[in-house]
Amino acid sequence: MGDHHHGPAKGITRWLTTTNHKDIGTMYLWFSFAMFLLGGAFAMVIRAELFQPGLQLIEPAFFNQMTTMHGLIMVFGAIMPAFVGLANWMIPLMIGAPDMALPRMNNWSFWILPFAFAILASSFFMEGGAPNFGWTFYAPLSTTYAPPSVTFFIFGVHILGLSSIMGAINIAATVMNMRAPGMTYMKMPLFVWTWFITAYLLIAVMPVLAGAVTMMLMDIHFGTSFFSAAGGGDPVLFQHIFWFFGHPEVYIIILPGFGVVSQVIPTFSRKRLFGYDSMVYATASIAFLSFIVWAHHMYTVGMPVAGELFFMYATMLIAVPTGVKVFNWISTMWRGAMTFETPMLFAIGFVVLFTMGGFTGLMLAIAPADFQYHDSYFVVAHFHYTMVAGAIFSMTCAVYYWLPKWCGRMYNETLGKTQFWVSFVGFNLTFFPQHFVGLAGMPRRIPDYALQFADFNLMSSVGAFIYGASQLLFLYNVVATIVAGEPVEKEQVWEGAEGLEWTVASPAPYHTFTTPPDVK
């Protein structure tokens, strides 16, 4: 690095005023991990209460606040910012750009996030408590019947929505304008592709969410009746608007994870990704389909049968491109020369468990059967297989994969593998039995349950504590690596790794690709 290059500023101002994509990425990652632990703590409270039948630890009213805040914090505070952080760090490195296209906006889109979540978390100390209407906040429970803190919740959602939209615009602008010469669209690493598509999903649906909460605000404070039949509105309208945002949202959460796994599996298989083109097309198809399937979350609201059939067929179709992705990953592994370092273990864990979540998703798509599954623990099991084993496993996979590049030090492999196996066992012990209780008739979001569900709930709670503990192992391993990990000398940390990020030094210098690299 020459003298004319700026290093990072000193002290706190480095973090407050930085426009460096690596600094901002780091802040996003730490912030999301803190939120992950907070949302996880709420999950532990939920599982502790559900450890056995009867009310032991908390009141039903507080239980509802826990389930609501667990969902909100995990979706908006943990998973989404984590992937934005990953995008900040990796997209410029992967496409040979010196930074993000809009660095100042980048700083702002991060720094409004802590305020959004401070507002959200402060609602615990307000009269009536925190939001208690579920993370899907169906009206009129979230309007006429909501605690006063709902107004702060709405404000918080507006701010974090703003942050997401700015983050997405930045990523789309970077991918479109900042690619190194020779890096055509169809040469971009798959992680960049999945994020590029995700960015468009975000730009399309976050304003819809903003619209939904604004209509709530109007209903609560300004006398409108969007969601109240008494004034000519319709509570089901809320659900349509929410899920028009909500279904693309679940792909916003999972597509970057697909991208991560598509980077990691070829590396540790020492073989090129199978079916690159079809991976891109499959991702685009999933994104398109995500806009026309939203009402499969609402099979029991009393839609006309024609609507029900349309949403059923469209939803079933998603199995096709998703299947293509799974087949491609396995074909990549086929006749490779595999090794099983921690990132590869998490990637394989992702493929197996996410596929199982996909299977239950297909079952849920079948509208008549959904009349029995809907709002039961079967749904809870399904979406945790896709969200936790999908988003969280792929995120953990990404951290282990790129950590040596970020900090120039190698993590402890034994500890990493231990964390994987503890997570894997804990996760399955938590969520697999939830399929059973759901099918046996246990509704979701209840603080207490009938005796027939007691045994599997006990298993679930034990599993949750194990899974929770495994995250502390993760925190320890990452901190220990940054502080005192074995230094990494090589640029290409992993033997089979390909891509521009592996052509820069480890740790990656503060400024990279100030002159564009050559892409063949």
Instruction: Determine if 61 is a binding residue for other proteins (CB under 8 A).
Output: yes
3-class SS of residue 104: helix
How far is the CA of 289 from the CAs of 120, 283, 303, in angstroms?
32, 10, 20
Please give, one letter per residue, the 3-state secondary structure of 218-233.
HHHHCCCCCCCHHHCC
Is residue 384 flagged as an active site residue? no
Count interface residues toward other proteins (CB under 8 A): 96
Instruction: Determine if 275 is a binding residue for other proteins (CB under 8 A).
Output: yes
Burial of 108 (0-12, 13-18, 19+ CB in 10 A): middle
- In the complex, least distance from residue 147 CB atom to other proteins, rounded to whole angstroms: 10
CA-atom Rg of the chain in angstroms: 23
Catalytic residue among 26, 32, 123, 164: 164
Among 158, 187, 270, 511, binds other proteins (CB under 8 A): 270
HSE, CB side, 13 Å, CA atoms: give it for residue 245. Answer: 21
Q: Which C-beta is closer to other proteins: that of 273 or that of 500?
A: 273
Q: Which C-beta is closer to other proteins: that of 259 or that of 485?
A: 259
Q: CA-to-CA distance for 216 and 138, rounded, in angstroms?
A: 10
Q: Are 217 and 157 in contact (CB under 8 A)?
A: no
Instruction: Determine if 237 is a binding residue for other proteins (CB under 8 A).
Output: no
- What DSSP designation does 344 have? H
What residues from 285 to 314 belong to the interface with other proteins (CB under 8 A)?
A: 300-302, 305, 308-309, 312-313
Instruction: Determine if 121 is a binding residue for other proteins (CB under 8 A).
Output: no
Instruction: Determine if 516 is a binding residue for other proteins (CB under 8 A).
Output: no
Q: Which stretch binds other proteins (CB under 8 A): 38-46, 150-158, 274-282, 397-405?
A: 274-282
Catalytic residue among 158, 417, 444, 445: 444
* Four-residue CA torsion sign, 124, 129, 134, 136: negative
Q: CA-to-CA distance for 189 and 380, rounded, in angstroms?
A: 33
Q: Spell out, one character per residue from 70 to 109, where the chain touches other proteins: x when CB under 8 A holds, - when not.
A: ----------------------------------------
Is residue 297 flagged as an active site residue? yes
Catalytic residue among 30, 111, 135, 138: 135
Is residue 290 flagged as an active site residue? no
What residues from 406 to 445 belong to the interface with other proteins (CB under 8 A)?
A: 435-436, 439-441, 443-445
- Write down how long the chain is: 520
- The residue with tokens 């906040």 is 137
Is residue 135 flagged as an active site residue? yes
What residues from 328 to 387 belong to the interface with other proteins (CB under 8 A)?
A: 330-340, 348, 351-352, 355-356, 359, 362-363, 366-369, 371-372, 374-376
Is residue 194 flagged as an active site residue? no
Instruction: Determine if 134 is a binding residue for other proteins (CB under 8 A).
Output: yes
- The residue with tokens 């009269």 is 127
Among 381, 390, 318, 325, which residue's Cα sits nearest to residue 82? 390
Is residue 145 flagged as an active site residue? no
Q: Residue 212 is encoded by which pair of tokens?
A: 């939904």
Give me the active site residues, please. Answer: 70, 99, 135, 163-164, 247, 249, 251, 262, 296-297, 322, 325, 444
